[in-house]
């Protein structure tokens, strides 16, 4: 084998490893976390569990909510004359609408958290359009769990999620139309939802393979119960004027509560004028290679 052939061989092996890695990680800024394999099914988890809970704080002075100009649709202005932006909702220094979830981790005994099968709750997740505003603003849902979308306004909305890993769709929903029911077949965080009628309307959906997630409440608190005993990487995501996320390692013990307090923006992090790199750069997850 001459020298050139050897170089080609090494290069092509490296490239195919890379391709394999990126095929698994999904690519783009939408991420599918936990396990993508359908073969490693450890069945439902039935061992000891604990809780992960914490408080999301906001560092410094939060940006003031901005008034939304709704003149494009008088119905919106009549019902909701003081509609404000809700990308950063802070009360007494605590941040609402932060999505906290187990990204990956090892359950005691050595199995990946995503290797277990997690039953899909039969109750649909509700997303309402009221006053030309989505409620809730940030929501989690499990793969194949129903989302039930309602229109409480005397005007027409057009719901338009823009996923990367799931099929994109948009559907009009006039006043009085029945709820729209949909499911998402693949895990993906975070799917932006917009309205083609009202450009200010925005929501985010996290589609999860497991139920181990929570959204911070108005007082910044969150709690994830029934977490199998183990060690995990959890991620807190918040929208802000540019989305930002932070990882944290936690250890869950039987009947224990693992504390996981976060603070946004991260000290020294980019502000709204510049783009933070953390959220937008997909990790090359070489550990995925082991799951094939």
| Residue numbers at the binding site for Cu ion (CB under 5 A) | 157, 195, 197-198, 201
Question: CB 249 → Cu ion: shortest distance, Å?
Answer: 40
Does the bond joining 264 to the residue before it have cis omega, within 30 degrees of 0? no
Residue number, 187 or 203, with CB nearest to Cu ion: 203
Q: State the nearest-atom distance from the C-beta of 103 to Cu ion, in Å.
A: 32
**Length of the chain counted residue by residue:** 292
Q: Tell me the closest approach of the beta carbon of residue 127 to Cu ion, in angstroms.
A: 12
Residue 197 CB, nearest approach to Cu ion (Å): 4
Sheet of 244-252: strand order equals: 213-215, 99-107, 230-238, 244-252
CB of residue 129 vs Cu ion: minimum separation in angstroms? 6
Residue closer to Cu ion (CB basis): 157 or 210: 157
Element (H, E) at 4: helix 3-25
Q: How far is the CB of 280 from Cu ion (least distance, A)?
A: 27
Least distance between Cu ion and beta carbon 173 (Å): 9
Does residue 265 have a cis bond before it (omega within 30 degrees)? yes
Contact in structure between 204 and 161 (CB atoms under 8 Å): no
Residue with the CB atom nearest Cu ion in the bound state: 195
CB nearer to Cu ion: pick between 190 and 201: 201
Find the shortest distance in angstroms from Cβ 137 to Cu ion.
Answer: 14
Judged by DSSP in three states, 78 sits in helix
- DSSP string across 160-214: EE--SSS----EEE-TTPPPEEE---S-EEEEEEEESS-TT-EEEEEEESSS-EE
Nearest to 51 by CA among 267, 262, 258, 275: 258
Comparing CB distances to Cu ion, the nearer of 107 and 203 is 203
When the beta carbons of 34 and 173 are compared against Cu ion, the nearer one is 173
Task: Give, as one character, the DSSP assignment of residue 71.
Answer: T
Contact between 160 and 194 (Cβ < 8 Å): yes
Q: Is residue 127 helix, strand or coil? A: strand
Closest CB to Cu ion among residues 103, 133: 133
CB atoms within 10 A of CB 47: 12
Alpha-carbon gap, residue 139 to 125, rounded angstroms: 8
Cβ closer to Cu ion: 97 or 151?
A: 151
Residue among 130 and 251 whose Cβ is closer to Cu ion: 130
């Amino acid at each position: 084998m001459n020298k050139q052939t050897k170089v080609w061989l090494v290069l092509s092996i490296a490239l195919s490893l890379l391709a394999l890695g990126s095929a698994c990680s999904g690519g783009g800024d939408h991420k599918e976390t936990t396990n993508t394999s359908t073969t490693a099914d450890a069945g439902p988890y039935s061992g000891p569990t604990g809780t992960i809970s914490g408080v999301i704080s906001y560092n410094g002075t939060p940006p003031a909510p901005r008034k939304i100009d709704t003149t494009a649709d008088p119905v919106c202005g009549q019902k909701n004359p003081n509609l404000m932006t809700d990308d950063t909702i802070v009360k007494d220094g605590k941040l609402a609408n932060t999505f906290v979830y187990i990204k990956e981790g090892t359950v005691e005994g050595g199995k990946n958290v995503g290797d277990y099968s997690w039953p899909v709750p039969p109750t649909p997740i509700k997303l309402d359009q009221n006053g030309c505003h989505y409620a809730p603003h940030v929501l989690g849902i499990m793969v194949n769990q129903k989302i039930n979308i309602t229109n409480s306004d005397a005007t027409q909305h057009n719901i338009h999620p823009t996923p990367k890993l799931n099929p994109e769709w948009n559907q009009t929903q006039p006043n009085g139309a029945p709820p729209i029911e949909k499911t998402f077949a693949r895990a993906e965080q975070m799917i932006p939802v917009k309205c083609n009628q009202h450009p200010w309307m925005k929501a985010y959906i996290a589609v999860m393979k497991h139920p181990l997630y929570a959204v911070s409440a108005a007082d910044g608190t969150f709690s994830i119960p029934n977490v199998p005993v183990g060690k995990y990487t959890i991620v807190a995501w918040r929208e802000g004027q540019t989305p930002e996320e932070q990882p944290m390692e936690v250890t869950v013990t039987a009947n224990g509560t693992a504390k996981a307090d976060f603070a946004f923006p991260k000290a020294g992090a980019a502000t709204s004028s510049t783009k933070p790199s953390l959220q937008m750069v997909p990790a090359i997850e070489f550990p995925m290679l082991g799951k094939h």
